[in-house]
Amino acid sequence: MSVFTDAELGYLRGARLLGRLATVGPDGVPHVTPVGWALDARAEVIEVGGRNMTTTKKFRDVARTGRAAIVIDDVLPPWQPRGVEVRGPAEAIDGPEPRIRIHPRRIVSWGLDDATQRRHAARNITADRRHKELSDER
């Protein structure tokens, strides 16, 4: 069972959208950068890849802190914002295909269906990956 809801999975598996990855530098300053991303085959983690990944600030930040967040969003006309934010522990994975892997511990989504059209649906994901109750963040 995925940590994402059916609405979130539908959105994440839909059109290829740009994501924005947030990390924190050694000086404590946030760093946000546009990235390509993918949902793993089991729909449990978000993976961020790219060119020369091991030489990037985002890769070094994740290797040092073990944390990251990503927002994947868009806006439908006339003005219908929708998206998914994922926060959690992250890994900087070296090797033939270097990547950053984010393990969701907090998921916030908005505008994905009638239930979240005008509010944020937010929840924490426990370490054993079971869903906790949905809560509203206004």
Instruction: Map out the domains of the chain with their CATH numbers.
Output: 6-124 (2.30.110.10)
Predicted pLDDT at 17 = 87
Predicted pLDDT at 117 = 58
| Burial degree of 87 (CB within 10 A; 0-12, 13-18, 19+) | buried
Q: Which residues of the chain have pLDDT under 50?
A: 130-138
| pTM, entire model | 0.87
Predicted pLDDT at 1 = 76
3-state secondary structure of 65: helix
Report the C-alpha gap between 89 and 102 in whole angstroms.
6
Report the C-alpha gap between 4 and 50 in whole angstroms.
24
Predicted pLDDT at 135 = 42
Predicted pLDDT at 136 = 40
Enter the tokens of residue 82. Answer: 């929708």
| Among the listed residues 137, 88, 109, 100, the one whose alpha carbon sits nearest the alpha carbon of residue 11 | 109
Enter the tokens of residue 78. Answer: 């006339």
Predicted pLDDT at 114 = 65
Element (H, E) at 11: helix 6-12
| Model pLDDT for residues 68-103, shown as the tens digit of each residue | 999 999 998 888 899 999 999 999 999 999 999 999
Enter the tokens of residue 49. Answer: 């890849």
